[in-house]
Structure 1
Amino acid sequence: MTKFDLIGPSEDILRGSIEDAMQEFLLQLRASGASEKTVRSYRAAIKDFISVIGNKKVSELSEKDIHKWRLERVRRGFNRSIRGRSSETTLYYYSLFIRSFIKWLGLRISVGGFKKGSRKLIETLKTQEIFKLLNAARDTTDLLIISLLIETGLRASELLSLRWKDIDLEAREIYVRGAKYGEERVVFIGDLSKKALETVKTYVSSEDERVIPMTYTALYKRLKTLAMRAGIDPKRVRPHILRHTFATESLKRGLPLPVLQRILGHKDIKTTQIYLHMVKEDIKNIYLKIYSISGIHGGSEIVGGRSI
């Protein structure tokens, strides 16, 4: 997890309620550069904790409260799935967030930990499916969305926060300012994206306008409609699946893993390494081609000194 440089709570906060302390904690997170998405995640975890133990005073918090919350969530899970995560994975992350909050309060209370849920098999689209989506585009906005997601690996939130001032068409670079962890990075513009951007930009009146002026819900629905038009299962066409597709295709085409890590904006290269298993069959085929008997001996096998 990313560490944030936070100022400790005041005596007034420590004498007040957990919810008041939470509000101060979230303000500190924002001030330290945490993204709104990160702040929302912390808020959701702490509010869930409060919903189980009650909004008591900070001074009354004890390990019994932690055990009560943990036991409740192990037994009953969560009221709703969180962006497709299992209860086990949600519990893992919420425990980390609550632990950070408790540590900020300066309380010597053990939160413990949970094993992270097993990662689901990463889904990607096949090359022909990408072509089907492009052919199903109804307008330049459809084309721009698909080309940017598939050629840059941007997250949905990053795509939707892009403004024209962040794009340098001549240098073929996009400056991603609303990135995860609050860090900026640069991604590059492919041929399809460049043509789509050049077409759309002719209608732009201000560099401060958003490139894709829509909500996440609108983007999600638009992709579903495109999928149905293309004859692809709508469940398989989501922003993050297009990001996965970009990552695996990049590796297949020879992009070094550390370079892919920087383009995707991963803090830890271990996160990027999850895509390696997706190209295992390609690596295996190359290996067999190189090390097959026919490959080694130029098309003939040597047995007992004779070619066969």
Structure 2
Amino acid sequence: MRQSAAKRIITPRLQAGYVVYLREAERAPSTINKYKRSIARLAEWLNGRPATKEEVLTWKHRLAEQGMSPSSVNSAIAAANGFFRYAGWYDLQTRYLRVQRKAFRDSSRDLTLEEYRALGRQAYKVGDIPVALAMETIASTGIRVSELAYITVEVVRAGRADISLKGKIRVIMLPLRLKEKLQDYCNTRGIHSGQVIVDEDGLQYSRRRLWGRMKCISAGAGVDPSKAFPHNLRHLFAITFYQASGDIVKLADVLGHSSVETTRIYLAASGEEHRRTLDGLGLVL
């Protein structure tokens, strides 16, 4: 993959090879698609110019100047650094933006338990049973949208799933009520093997597809559409699980996080919770 510095052009062939490289590394489909888009945008920005350290640094600063959030910029950098390693352009790798962990999070886009239930009721009301079950499965187990593929008839019968991702295997238990609902669904639909929760075309739900359906349902549910996205279901699971168990290490294992620090992001107190803590200190005379 090595090219001389003068020939470091991000070609379509290199981009296609990078996608194969990511698949062989067993990266999640959503990550592969995100990195693919980031490299395509980097190539478009270079517009045929060779990739140099100066160009990469300029690109990084431009992303920040365009108003992208630090986490989005760092995601693009991760995609670029991975591509540079794949291409053998190790000297082009660049540092991430330094982001101080927030003392509290903006809870304005959090999905509350009542809002989640309203979405579920509306999905059942309009007959969108697969979406309702997809939401319930993610919210009650903490799995990712891409991991719905592991919820098969065989897994439902066993009540547990062995999920393999990024070279790690973790066990996910199905709540008894969820197991019963999925079994009833299989019996009603005549599903005897394979994946249980698929869209109307029999295809696995992508994050974008499920997101679109949740937004459609949100209007009838009286839920702000900006809150109706799949990752909010996983976030709701994390908050609820931690409130019940107080075990952040176990939560990290259930969510499939490599680091507890990642899990801490999910559990940061909201601004209102932080204010109540400050009020309780009694330090205002």
Normalised to the residue count of structure 1, the TM-score between the two structures is: 0.69
Residue matched to 2:283: none
How far apart, CA to CA, are the structure 1 residues paired with 2:130 and 2:16? Answer: 39
Offset, 1:131: 3.7
Q: Deviations over 1:169-223 (max 9, x none)?
A: 3x4213334x4x3644322212331221011110234412442335444422432
Q: Which runs of 5+ in 1 are unaligned?
A: 1-8, 78-85, 289-308
Query: Please, which of 258, 263, 266 is the counterpart of residue 254 of structure 2?
Result: 263
Residue matched to 2:159: 172
Label 1:175 to 1:204 Cα distance change in 2 as closer, same or farther (>3 A). farther
Query: Please, which of 84, 92, 114 is the counterpart of residue 74 of structure 2?
Result: 92
Offset, 1:66: 2.0
Q: Would the aligned equivalents of 1:176 and 1:186 in 2 still touch at CA under 8 Å?
A: yes
Residue matched to 1:254: 245
Offset, 1:15: 6.4
Q: Would the aligned equivalents of 1:163 and 1:211 in 2 still touch at CA under 8 Å?
A: yes
Residue matched to 2:60: 70
How far apart, CA to CA, are the structure 2 residues paired with 1:45 and 1:264? Answer: 25
How far apart, CA to CA, are the structure 1 residues paired with 2:99 and 2:239? Answer: 23
Query: Please, which of 123, 128, 134 is the counterpart of residue 114 of structure 2?
Result: 128
Q: Would the aligned equivalents of 1:175 and 1:185 in 2 still touch at CA under 8 Å?
A: yes
Offset, 1:261: 0.9
Label 1:188 to 1:72 Cα distance change in 2 as closer, same or farther (>3 A). same
Q: How many residues align?
A: 261
Q: Deviations over 1:226-272 (max 9, x none)?
A: 43333222322221111111111111112511111111111111111
Aligned residue identity for 1:96: A
Q: Would the aligned equivalents of 2:74 and 2:96 in 1 still touch at CA under 8 Å?
A: yes
Determine helix, strand or coil for the equivalent of 1:18.
coil
Residue matched to 2:137: 148
Aligned residue identity for 2:88: G
Aligned residue identity for 1:26: V
Label 1:96 to 1:128 Cα distance change in 2 as closer, same or farther (>3 A). closer
Q: Would the aligned equivalents of 1:248 and 1:278 in 2 still touch at CA under 8 Å?
A: no
Offset, 1:156: 2.1
Q: Would the aligned equivalents of 1:166 and 1:174 in 2 still touch at CA under 8 Å?
A: no
Residue matched to 2:211: 220
How far apart, CA to CA, are the structure 1 residues paired with 2:173 and 2:29? Answer: 25
How far apart, CA to CA, are the structure 1 residues paired with 2:210 and 2:194? Answer: 20
How far apart, CA to CA, are the structure 2 residues paired with 1:94 and 1:200? Answer: 40
Label 1:144 to 1:106 Cα distance change in 2 as closer, same or farther (>3 A). closer
Label 1:87 to 1:261 Cα distance change in 2 as closer, same or farther (>3 A). closer
Q: Would the aligned equivalents of 1:247 and 1:260 in 2 still touch at CA under 8 Å?
A: yes
Q: Deviations over 1:95-127 (max 9, x none)?
A: 232223324433463443242567763544333
Label 1:173 to 1:73 Cα distance change in 2 as closer, same or farther (>3 A). same
Determine helix, strand or coil for the equivalent of 1:167.
helix
Aligned CA RMSD, in angstroms, stands at 3.5
Percent of paired sites with the same residue = 20
Residue matched to 2:31: 38
Q: Would the aligned equivalents of 2:160 and 2:172 in 1 still touch at CA under 8 Å?
A: yes
Determine helix, strand or coil for the equivalent of 2:161.
strand
How do 1:1-308 residues align onto structure 2 when only pairs under 5 Å count?
9=1, 17-19=9-11, 20-56=13-49, 61-76=51-66, 86-107=68-89, 109-115=91-97, 121-122=106-107, 123-136=109-122, 137-138=124-125, 139=127, 140-159=129-148, 161-165=149-153, 167-169=155-157, 171-177=158-164, 179=165, 181=166, 183-202=168-187, 203-213=189-199, 215-216=205-206, 217-278=208-269
Aligned residue identity for 1:152: T
Label 1:150 to 1:23 Cα distance change in 2 as closer, same or farther (>3 A). closer
How far apart, CA to CA, are the structure 2 residues paired with 1:41 and 1:229? Answer: 31
More helix by share: 2
